[in-house]
Amino acid sequence: MDTLSCIVIGSGPAGYTAAIYTQRSGIDTVICEGIQPGGQLTTTTIVENYPGFPEGIDANILMENMRTQATNFGAQIWNKILIKADLDSAPYKLTFDDNTQVWAKTIVIATGATAKYLGIPDETKYKGMGVSACATCDGFFYRKKIVAVVGGGDTACEEASYLATLASKVYMIVRKPYLRASNIMQERVKNNPKIEILFETNTLGLFGENGVEGIQLVYRKGENDERTYSLPIDGFFLAIGHQPNSEIFKPWVKTDDLGYIITEGKTPKTSVPGVFAAGDVADPLYRQAVIAAASGASAGMEVEKFLAGK
């Protein structure tokens, strides 16, 4: 069985950047692209807040450029999905969906986090056409428009507050009769005249000819009080939580209650020597491409130090 110097699991900004750094410093690196080559960003359209692109850049082109930059330095791309990791002792054993196995001296976990969706068919139908799980990424497109945010936690409040700086009206769709968010965030949305909170309300569906034009809702209070109605909206934002893609590594590396990988201080070091975590899988707070890329760079530099025995 082969022993790799470095394998990067995941191909978002964190994964590609880590590989750019390791391969550029002469470490043979394999990138395992995983389920979604290019990562979460490829589900959006234009990225306007990645520095260096004053006119914005198509998300797929940005990711393709990062990939090319990594392969230009010599990084190898594997079109496989990791299904099992054994991090008991180094070199670490990894098993892929095509039944192949490798040993690796170092691993960069850059598997990202997946936004949770409600699971209604219209979310898929209108994805990229009015449905988004990232207000910071896509809010700009809803200037002076009407949007809805689903969720009652801190993320939903934060996204609603941010969207209210752009949109003309923001509905928060909250399934319980109260918000789960911290008091300060609750006060912020309750005091914002552009935000209207629809408690005890669930989404039934979305409609529109060329993208989202409206939402069907159901208000339920007890067994006998139920009312379905529609509202015109232009954008539908999910803010019901994220799931870090850390499941395979959980038996080995330390994670927090939500499953985010815990790293040591400001470094990408996990609780396992030679195993580093970069990007959203270790970031419950910011979840931004530029931050993921930066943490990928740190991971690449730590791999180099680790292999040099420093």
Q: Which two tokens stand for residue 251?
A: 């038996």
Contact letters (x/-) for ligand NDP, 214-253, by CB under 6 A? --------------------------xx------------
93 contact partners, CB below 8 Å, separation of at least 6: 85, 86, 101, 102, 103
110 contact partners, CB below 8 Å, separation of at least 6: 8, 9, 10, 11, 12, 14, 15, 18, 277, 278, 279, 281, 292, 296, 299
Select from 31-39, 175-183, 264-272, 290-298 the region that touches ligand NDP (CB under 6 A).
175-183
Q: How far is the CB of 178 from ligand NDP (least distance, A)?
A: 8
Nearer to ligand NDP, 234 or 283 (CB): 283
- Tell me if 279 contacts ligand NDP by CB under 6 A: no
User: Cβ distance 81 to 35 under 8 Å?
Assistant: yes
Select from 103-111, 122-130, 139-147, 150-158 the region that touches ligand NDP (CB under 6 A).
150-158
Q: How far is the CB of 153 from ligand NDP (least distance, A)?
A: 2
Neighbours of 117 (CB within 10 A): 14
- Tell me if 84 contacts ligand NDP by CB under 6 A: no
Crossing angle between the packed helical segments 59-72 and 13-24, to the nearest 10 degrees: 20
Type of residue found at 58: D
Annotated active-site residue 6? The verdict is no
178 contact partners, CB below 8 Å, separation of at least 6: 152, 199
Q: Which two tokens stand for residue 269?
A: 């070091």
- Tell me if 155 contacts ligand NDP by CB under 6 A: yes
Q: How far is the CB of 191 from ligand NDP (least distance, A)?
A: 17
Annotated active-site residue 138? The verdict is yes
Binding residues among 100-129 for ligand NDP as defined by CB under 6 A = 118
- Residues lying near ligand NDP in the complex (CB under 6 A) are found at 118, 150-156, 158, 175-176, 180, 240-241, 284
Which residues are known to be catalytic? 134, 137-138
